[in-house]
Amino acid sequence: MNSVQKYLFFAVMRTTVLIVGGLALLALLAQGLSQTDLLVENRQSAMTYFFVVILGAPQVMALLLPLAVFIATIWALNRLHRDSEIVVAQAAGMTKWQTASPVLRLAVLAAIFQLGVNMWVQPSAQREMRETITEARADLITSLVKPGAFTSAADRLTIFTRDISGGVLQGIYISDQRDPNAESDYLALRGTVVEVDGAPAIIMDDGQIHQTDQNGALSILTFDQYQFDLTPFTKERGDVVLKASDRFLWELFYPDMSNYLQRQDADRYLAEGHARLTMPLITLVMAMIAISAVLGGDFSRRGYSRRITIAVAGAVLLLVVQLSLQAASVDEPALNTAQYLVPTLVFLVLLFRFLRVRRRGLKLRRGEIGGAVPA
């Protein structure tokens, strides 16, 4: 690339990065609102919350990249045209194709980056996010013990703690009325949740056991340390359920047909796999639509608002059609082929039209229109 092309390349790239960053930030803020239950209900740390939000960034960036490339190309090329920088470059001998080539190169790099995200980064991040959320919601202390609140996990079994400090429960009260012939209340100054022989338990220090027998007689037992089984309070963590967006490309195309859930979602996996491969093509088409809007016609001092409006409508229509094809491919796998055909045909049509306009411009400059050839 010459110096002018490098200038155009970095001008569009800077705008693309800014737009992707801005749109991704808004999307992550919206996603973060849906994960506030990690803080409110599961009482996880702020680091866990932000870790989960950041893990959603690759998927958001991959989805927004085609739109960002389109907006950046439209904005940057239109600004350069408005400032007469492209006009000066073309007057110096640069063709429209040479002007457009830096943008197409950037679009190719963006498509390769998007493909890498879709194939490796997104599923890895999504898996980590699922596991983090599952572990947070299955965490015994956060799901069982809520300071200042009575928690019932089993029938006639309740636990209360005044406060939690450094993993130590302060002011513990447990009411166990599962056996009507031996109702018991446990009170302790402090306690710690531990695992004993693979089973969760709470080790209570400095407390008493108040037990009432079937005749209503009360007996009080004082202890220095007592182990209370917490198995009735536990929730089975189970395996992390992976969605189609969490799976790697080979898992989407070759699901485990012996697994009932994967067999039922095989068509959904197939549609997701083809969508990940075709979205980089959409990025290329978006860049070509923007190039055609600004460079694909005659120069106008009044601007290109009409062509840009048509380009925006075409870009939105393309996205709607592509997303509709992806959704329809879940029920009709034969439509997966159309996910490749639509962006490919649109790109070829736009490229042919752009090159035809370029050839027409060369003929005009050579004076070959109407048979008038300069001597």
Q: pLDDT (tens digit, 9 = 90+) per residue, 314-356? A: 999 999 999 999 999 999 999 999 999 999 999 999 988 888 7
Query: What are the percentages of helix, strand and coil residues in the chain, rounded to 5?
Result: 65, 15, 20
Spans of the chain below 70 pLDDT:
30-46, 134-145, 153-155, 198-199, 232-241, 297-303, 357-375
**pLDDT score for 343:** 95
- 3-state SS record for 303-372: CCHHHHHHHHHHHHHHHHHHHHHHHHHHHCHHHHHHHHHHHHHHHHHHHHHHHHHHHHHHHHHHCCHHHC
* Contact criterion met (CB below 8 Å) for 174 and 228: yes
**pLDDT score for 35:** 60
**pLDDT score for 29:** 73
**pLDDT score for 374:** 44
What 3-state class would DSSP assign to 255?
coil
**pLDDT score for 320:** 93
For residue 296, what is the DSSP state?
Answer: S
Give the H/E segment covering residue 34: helix 3-34
For residue 118, what is the DSSP state?
Answer: I
In degrees and rounded to multiples of 5, residue 213 shows phi and psi of -90, -175
